[in-house]
Amino acid sequence: MMPPEESLAAPVLRTTGLHRRYLLPRRALFGPRDSVHAVNGVDIAIPERGSLGIVGESGCGKSTLARLAMGLEPPSEGRVEIRGQDLAQASGPALKLLRRAFQMVFQDPYGSLNPRHTVGRIVAEPIDALEKPADRRQRVEEVLRAVGMRPADLDKYPHEFSGGQRQRIAIARALVTRPALIVLDEPVSALDVSVQAQVLNLLRDLQEQYGLAYMLISHDLAVVDYVCRQVAVMYLGRIVEEGPASLLFERPAHPYTQALRQAVPSAAVANRRRRRARLPGGVPSQTRLPPGCAFADRCPIAEARCRVEVPRLREIGPGQRAACHLA
């Protein structure tokens, strides 16, 4: 058992030196096996009630990081701690308790809800799997109300709802175990722009109301800026910049964050057209990372040293860290 003061001080989630490699199929019978380095040395910490946004282009390792944080797959190296406890060491009832503290919401509100189950059964699923509490129905009704649905929706099926309502149902399901942390992987990317802001507002309200911590993943800097206090920018499996959301949005230090920032129009989230980040050049191959800074080939200010020396993440201002030789 951990002393109480220590468990209080521990972040709800901490990753240390996290790596995840995937072996690819051999291209020739006796040829070498390439691997994809999807997560390449990631350290993050999310305090209780904190919110960390993870932003970066498609393929940079965000969903892999989420799966590692949720314990859905093991890291190749490094560790994941939940409230100070090493996830890899937990088993039996301790693991059950840790699992209850973490819930996840996925991008696709169509694919993530079983079409043959009623909303009531879908939302109750995490508590049914863990404890089957006596107040099951009240808890399901409470979380449905909290996400703006009605108790009468309990007996309906997912196809009777819009995309935004289905994502509300998925959020209710995540809330029902009274978790400490919800990992949201592109929670609004599949929704109409008009609905995105409503769901983001709901997420902000719920965080306050339930004292939740969030890890919110998006390719869109504006989405994480809207909901999260802290932001980490990922590029090819590494965090390249990290700091308070407002600072990263207003004064991004890393050329990659600057490019992401420019891809976002500046009007309020509620009434603007969202564009996907588009940068010059392509993302380099993750099976053969370049020797220096992985962003050098696309970087407008890269110098000779950027192509030979990997920049370390370092403090560049109060609370702001960047992995760039020139920041």
Q: Rule CB under 6 A: which residues touch ligand ADP?
A: 22, 36, 38, 56, 58-64, 286
Q: Which is nearer to Mg ion, 15 or 63 (CB)?
A: 63
- Residue 148 φ/ψ, nearest 5 degrees: 85, 20
Shortest CB 156 distance to ligand ADP, Å: 31
The yes or no reply on residue 103 touching Mg ion (CB under 5 A) is: no
Q: Which is nearer to ligand ADP, 56 or 164 (CB)?
A: 56
With CB under 5 A as the rule, give the number of residues binding Mg ion: 1
Shortest CB 217 distance to ligand ADP, Å: 7
Of the candidate spans 58-66, 115-123, 175-183, 252-260, the one that interacts with Mg ion by CB under 5 A turns out to be 58-66
Shortest CB 144 distance to Mg ion, Å: 28
Residue 7 binds which entry of ligand ADP, Mg ion, none, with Cβ cut-offs from 5 to 8 Å by kind?
none
Q: Which pair of structure tokens corresponds to residue 14?
A: 């901490």
The yes or no reply on residue 218 touching Mg ion (CB under 5 A) is: no
Q: Which is nearer to ligand ADP, 58 or 162 (CB)?
A: 58
Q: Which is nearer to ligand ADP, 36 or 90 (CB)?
A: 36
Cα angle 52-208-125, degrees, rounded to a multiple of 5: 80
Q: How far apart are the first and last CA of the chain?
A: 43
Shortest CB 157 distance to ligand ADP, Å: 29
- Indicate the helix (H) or strand (E) that contains 137: helix 136-146
Shortest CB 227 distance to ligand ADP, Å: 18
* Alpha-carbon gap, residue 17 to 38, rounded angstroms: 13
The yes or no reply on residue 63 touching Mg ion (CB under 5 A) is: yes
119-130 and 163-175 helices, crossing angle to 10°: 20
Range list of β-strands (E), the chain: 13-23, 35-46, 51-55, 77-82, 85-86, 102-105, 181-185, 213-218, 230-235, 238-244, 314-317, 320-322
Overall size of the chain counted in residues: 327
Binding residues for Mg ion (CB under 5 A): 63
